[in-house]
Chains A and B, each alone.
Chain A
Amino acid sequence: MKKISIIALLALTLMLSGCTKTTKKDLYSQIIGEWELVGYSTKSVTVGDQKVSVSVSFSSYQTTNAFVMYQTVGDSYIKQYSGTWDLTDNVLSGKYSDGTAWGNTYSVSISDDGNTLIMETTVGTAELYTYKRVE
């Protein structure tokens, strides 16, 4: 009985360990791709009366996780940013190519269908950003 219990516990541990590994890997692989900030039901977010459009593309090659972002803030031209990103314990962080750290880190989750990325700031007042996968 004791032997069976130990085997069962070992199996459960292995299963859980496998599940955890699978989840992390999924998030990693799922985050890769092009995302567009969506404000509620539209393609852009409005802060006050200013429109914000952000399109960010995450990629991973060998040991480097890179991103390229195009943003339009207000009535302006498009600005491009790039840099690197990291995902640790479901928390997404990053650095711009000029060495500037992102303004915040984000707790991330992805919808079951893999098409919605939710990013919630982890420092200071919580702010929620929703991104849709660009087909």
Chain B
Amino acid sequence: MNERITISFIFLLLIAGCTADLNQGSNSASRVSAKMVNTKSEASDPYFVLVKLTATLNDETLGALKAAGAGSVTPVFTSVAGKEALEHKFGLDRWYKVGISENDVDKLALSLSLVEEVSAIEYDNKATKASDCIVYPYDGNPLPSTDTKSTATTFNDPYLTDQWNFNNQGNASIATTAYKGADINIKDVWGSLTTGDPSIIVAVVDEGVKYNHPDLQGNMWINSKEYNGKEGVDDDENGYIDDIYGYNFVSDGAITFSKSGDSGHGTHCAGVISAVNNNNVGISSVAGGSGSNDGVRIMSCQVFDGNSGGDSYTIAKAVKYAADMGASIISCSFGYKGGAYLSDGSYSSANGVEIDAIHYFEATKNNDVVDGGIAIFAAGNDGDPYATYPGAMSDIISVSAFGPDYLPTYYTNYGPGCNIVAPGGEAYLAPWTTRKALILSTVPYELYKDNYGYMQGTSMACPHVSGITALGLSYAKKLGKTFTVKKFKELVVTSANDFDTHMVGTKEYYNNAEPALQLKNYMKKMGTGSIDTWLLMMKIEGVPCLLASTGGKQWLDISPYFGTSSVNLTYTGIEMTDAAKAAIGLSEDPYIQYGRLYINPTKIGSAKLTIHAIGGGTQLGGEDNIGGMAISQEVSIIVRSFKSTNGGWL
């Protein structure tokens, strides 16, 4: 990577040196290098660059761009009435797609870098889907149910018994090492709390979603103005024609899902989030409702189309669309090649158009519960000891994958930047006589002559967390609760079960199809642990006060706040006011050791304190490094003269 940057820089300097009207000395060269925020790759579009201006385009600047060799100059983003201030705040009104005229794109970029009003020039970057995109069509033999307790709380979808990700009974025919309970702990949530809410919209930023799939159609988001409008007309005047279920940002037209080069990836992810539940058809999904048209809605923001797409220009436009059209969550099962970026700063500076759009999305309120959008990404499938970007950004939830054996999958990325782990499915687990160890979901019939199929990847883990987050928003809405988006993300990331105690020994594959995993390598590197839907709902209801007693130093279990992985998290500090300390008679500061809160109260009363920790990894992500998400939990403590160790009041 460094070698490539050096070569490109030398190349630029050479061009600068050879071109008479660009030969303005070393200051120019440094200015050029500062404005060229990334390097061209083989996948970069050879016909345009993305340019950020210092101010909104005017005639004078347009003239300067044309003089520098620009062919076409068009805004990257479509402005939406009423959102101008937010667009300006994140610089979206200053991004332009500048096409070549006669020169090649390198020369154009170089010339543009000398235009005063240009602040950044980006080559279009290419992301890839976080899955091998191999689909095994459904085998049509659903497993018999072995969970006698769940009959009252689950749905009538016939393939639900093949979805170990929702209710893992440890069935050895799935994997001889299948682990009972290695799932997302959702069935009681479905049974008693919520199954979704149609006002919560999840944008699947991916291949096009098969919006007329029999198990998805009922939960597709519908743009009613376009649905009821005229074909070929931009009825809602949002800049996109006939965007009924979303939009194809690659072709700038209708959503597609079954071209040559398509895999059904977007349709599969959508099915995990919100295939229609309890409709006697196919599969169940995380937040697909109860069969009463009450599931969360899927918006298809297509950024991969056949063998095209996946570039930062397309992704940025899709993310802004999601924000403008009402999505609360973007579910993004893609990322850049592992190791392409190893700090938040290096990613952000090289992908300004994309991160500006993500920040715009995160600042857009589209529901009654949180004050912004939630971005969820796959951690990546390179088996690298760090997450890929954009998911690795410290304000984005990045999801790693586990298999039905409750162990890391062979492909999952782990380590810094990975925030939480969810079912991703896995091939080559013995006995490997079926494909049921992967994730079963919806696929386009046109590609596989079947409506359902198995896939694996952090691509599949990501929509589990997206769906659970959508379910959490649905439940919070039902309870009338509100949160900041930061707080809600913290609730999601800390609704996790211990994963590290399983990181012992090796994990073997059928016929050694993959090298054995040394599980100790994953210790403390799988984020905060495995996501637990029930825990999230309980945290949304509210976390109970910790009960302490007077009369000596004691430790308090903080897992209700930080999940059962709390013992293995990295804590960065405790805040407690003097008044709070006085309220329970603390003469020494509380502290965390071995994941427990140590405290010595001498007075009956109550107090609050805030514990800061890192959600995934041992260091926070930042400008110069890749790392975890900052998470803070306000902890309430009630002190009496006695306590019961299990938290009971008596």
Contacts and interface: CB of A to CB of B under 8 A. Distances in A.
Are A and B part of the same complex? Answer: yes
Interface of A: 37, 47-50, 52, 54, 56, 69, 71-77, 79, 81, 94, 96, 98, 100-104, 106, 121, 123-125, 127
A98 B644 CA distance: 12
A108 B338 CA distance: 66
B638 interface: yes
B63 interface: no
A125 B642 CA distance: 9
A53 to B, nearest CB: 9
Majority-rule SS of B interface residues: loop
B638 A79 contact: no
B482 to A, nearest CB: 13
Which of B549, B605, B647 has the most C-beta atoms of chain A within 10 angstroms of its own C-beta? B647
Contacts of B547: 73
Interface stretch (B289-297, B407-415, B535-543): B535-543
B627 to A, nearest CB: 31
A52 B638 contact: yes
Contact of B606 (A48, A125, A127): A48
Nearest to A126: B641
Given A69-B650, A71-B649, A73-B649, A50 B606 contact: yes
Given A73-B638, A124-B551, A47 B544 contact: no
Given A48-B605, A76-B544, A102 B648 contact: yes
B645 interface: yes
Given A50-B636, A69-B650, A124 B545 contact: no
A77 B551 CA distance: 28
B636 A77 contact: no
A35 B60 CA distance: 79
B649 A54 contact: yes
Interface of B: 538, 541-545, 547, 549-551, 583-584, 604-607, 636, 638-650
A71 B649 CA distance: 7
Nearest to A93: B650
Given A73-B545, A81-B648, A121 B641 contact: yes
The 5 lowest CB-CB distance pairs between A and B, nearest first, are A48-B606, A74-B545, A103-B644, A77-B541, A125-B641
A116 to B, nearest CB: 17
Contacts of B642: 103-104, 121, 123-124, 127
A96 B545 contact: no
A83 B363 CA distance: 49
B607 A125 contact: no
A18 to B, nearest CB: 32
A50 B641 contact: no
A103 B604 CA distance: 15
Contacts of B648: 69, 71, 81, 96, 100, 102-103
A77 B299 CA distance: 33
14 contacts: A48-B584, A48-B605, A48-B638, A50-B636, A56-B650, A72-B544, A73-B544, A74-B544, A74-B636, A79-B544, A103-B549, A104-B650, A123-B642, A127-B641
Contacts of A48: 583-584, 605-607, 638
A47 B550 CA distance: 14
Given A48-B607, A69-B650, A102-B648, A127 B640 contact: yes
A77 B542 contact: yes
Contact of A50 (B538, B545, B549): B545
A76 B607 contact: no
A47 B546 CA distance: 12
A49 B133 CA distance: 54
Nearest to A54: B649
A77 B544 contact: yes
Nearest to A119: B650
Nearest to A75: B542
Contacts of B542: 74-77
- Residue of A47, A74, A127 contacting most chain B CB atoms (<10 Å): A74
Nearest to A123: B642
A74 B638 CA distance: 9
A19 B641 CA distance: 35
B538 A77 contact: yes
A94 B650 contact: yes
A101 B643 CA distance: 10
